[in-house]
Amino acid sequence: MPRFSKAVSSLRSSEIRDLMTLASRPDIISFAGGMPGNDLFPVQAVEELYAQLDIKKKQAAFQYGPTPGLPSLLESLEGFLEKKGLPVKENRLLITTGSQQALNILAKAFIDPAEPVLVEKPCFIGALSAFRSYDAELRGIAVDSDGISIEGLRQEINRNEKAKFLYITPYFHNPAGILYTAERKEQLIAILQGTNIPLIEDDAYGDLYFFEEDQERLKPIKAINPDGINVCYTGSFSKILGPGLRLGWMLVPEKIYAKCELIKQSADACSPSFTQVLADAFIRSGQIYSYVAGVRQEYKKRAAAMVSALREHLPDYVQWNEPRGGFYIWLILPNEADATRIMTLAIEGGAVFVAGKTFDPAGRQNNSLRLSYCNNTPEQIAEGIPIVASAIRAVCG
In the chain, the domains with their CATH numbers are 6-42+289-396 (3.90.1150.10), 60-287 (3.40.640.10)
Q: What is the pLDDT of residue 11?
A: 67
Cα 252 to Cα 233: distance, rounded to the nearest angstrom? 6
Regions in the chain scoring below 70 on pLDDT:
7, 9-24
Q: What is the pLDDT of residue 178?
A: 98
For the whole model, what pTM was predicted? 0.95
Q: What is the pLDDT of residue 1?
A: 77
Residue 259 has, within 13 A of its CA and on its CB side, a CA count of 13
Q: What is the pLDDT of residue 23?
A: 64
Can you say whether the dihedral through the CA atoms of 43, 48, 49, 50 is positive or negative?
Answer: positive
Cα 17 to Cα 22: distance, rounded to the nearest angstrom? 10
Q: What is the pLDDT of residue 3?
A: 80
